[in-house]
Amino acid sequence: MPRGGTIDLAPPVEKAFLVAVDTGDDPGWSAEDSLLELASLADTAGAEVVGAEWQNRRHVDPNWYVGKGKAEELVAARAETGFDLLVADDELSPGQQKALEGLLKVKVIDRSRLILDIFALHAQTHEGRLQVELAQLEYQLPRLTRLWTHLSRTGGGIGTRGPGETQLETDRRVIRERIKRMKERVEEVRRAREVGARGRDRRLVPVVAIVGYTNAGKSTLLNALVGSEVARAEDRLFATLDPTSRQVKLGDGQAVVVTDTVGFIHKLPHQLVDAFRATLEEVTRADVLVEIVDAADRHFAEHRATVQTVLDELGAGTKPRLVAFNKADLLGAGTKGAEHGPIVAGSVLISALTGFGLDALRTELAAVLASLWEDVDMAVPYAAGELVARARQRGAVEIEYRERDVRIRGRAAPGLAAELRAAAAVWAESLREASQGDGPSPDRGGGA
């Protein structure tokens, strides 16, 4: 090569052709609508979409996914467009994938594999990469048959299961062992998150989780609430996978911890939900959810249904929720948030990008949190001074110092109220035993 020249090592852009089957059993979603989203996913993964086809059928074909005639049309489409990647909108069986690859002589993947690849591309932290790898392994295991064209026998000896085990069986065993190890490491992540959550509970700082469809503006909202760029925000699907938590002030000294969570999507692979459960448990531990909705998207109702399905699967579907209809800057004049869907626990129209409506969001969020507080009227001993101090700082209470104990009346967050009730019960039992002569008489220095 000429001196001073350079070598372009960038891989060629794959030409993707999309295919879908419309069985009519997916309310609110037509095959054409779903393919538009699939095209966005392919673009996010770095492919160039060169065409798309869909077919109306009562059921997907068990052998070809699409009908045999449509599959043969794909051969002609390949000759016309030159695509080297076929992406199916639904999860393919190993048999369907193998049949299409044999017919078209190109790589064939499905929506689940495409989403897994995007997650692998965007995972930045050790935790995120762990969870993505686990999801990929669980997706790969039942599809190993397509990876091997031979069944060569492995030799016997130390470290093998002996003669008779095929290469395919060896690979399955290796992947199962890796899955087991990955699950153990993800469980370590979950335990570490539990420790952090207990620390937050001890400080009694309310936790708010931002949930929503991918690209609805969750990271942009967190950045806007914090006042600085703490989470990666891009106009792209699954731009952020790793959760970010920051303290946000709501006003009148009230502060909350707000966590940005991974976005959801139509036909989200179940492997991802399982693998990211350690991360998504942040949603189950939250006191309140802020569901952010792209109000400018005509499919926002279907997006909300998808979010609800995943939240139900996580056991967080009935948590207190504030709905934030985002991207008000993209709506016509006079549009109101209440027109965009049912109110779950109040709603507000905002633009996380411009800051419109954020003060109203803070006010509404403070009101939702206050509505969860519980009435308290109980006595605790002087020895519980640290608990009394937290009640004064974190609750709306009146404190009366009496001869032998402290009376606390007012309202407090559920966690704080539970601590107060427990301390009061122990103190009441101590007084009862003292009155019966079963123990020392409690005084200002007595234990709770």
CATH number of this structure's domain 15-118, picked from the four choices 3.40.50.11060, 3.40.630.30, 1.10.3720.10, 3.30.420.40:
3.40.50.11060
- Following CA atoms 124, 138, 186, 225 in sequence, which dihedral angle do they give, to the nearest 10 degrees? 40
Least confident of 50-54, 319-323, 337-341, 430-434: 337-341
pLDDT of residue 101: 92
d(CA 201, CA 193): 12
Question: Which tens digits make up the pLDDT trace of 401-439?
Answer: 999 999 999 988 887 888 899 999 999 998 888 887 655
Neighbouring residues of 302: CB distance < 8 A, sequence distance ≥ 6 = 27, 28, 29, 266
From the list 326, 376, 148, the residue with the least C-alpha distance to 387 is 376
Q: Determine the pLDDT at residue 398.
A: 92
Kindly report, residue by residue over 375-396, the tens digit of the pLDDT: 999 999 999 988 898 888 777 8
User: pLDDT tens digits for 128-187?
Assistant: 788 888 888 888 887 765 444 443 444 443 333 444 456 667 777 888 888 888 888 878
Q: Calculate the CA dihedral of residues 62, 66, 72, 73 and round it to 10 degrees.
A: 180
The predicted pLDDT at position 323 comes to 93
DSSP string, 287-326: SEEEEEEETTSTTHHHHHHHHHHHHHHHT-TTS-EEEEEE
CA atoms of 316 and 310, how far apart (whole Å): 9
Query: Which CATH entry fits the domain spanning 204-371: 3.40.50.1260, 3.40.50.150, 3.40.50.300, 3.10.105.10?
Result: 3.40.50.300
For the chain, how big is the Rg over CA atoms in Å?
28
Question: What are the two backbone dihedrals, phi and then psi, of residue 335, each rounded to the nearest 5 degrees?
Answer: -75, 135
The stretch 237-248 carries a mean pLDDT of: 71
Residue 38: per-residue pLDDT? 92
CA angle 71, 77, 79 (to 5 degrees): 115
Q: Where in the chain is the domain with CATH 3.40.50.300?
A: 204-371
Residue 66 pLDDT more than 80? yes
Instruction: Give the C-alpha separation, 419 to 277, whole Å.
Output: 29
H or E stretch including 376?
Answer: strand 374-381
Starting at the edge strand found earlier in the chain, the sheet holding 254-260 runs 244-251, 254-260, 207-212, 288-294, 321-326, 347-349
Considering the chain, tell me which residue range(s) the CATH 3.40.50.11060 domain(s) occupy: 15-118
Residue pair 294/350 in contact (Cβ under 8 Å)? The answer is no
30: closest CA among 220, 246, 299? 299
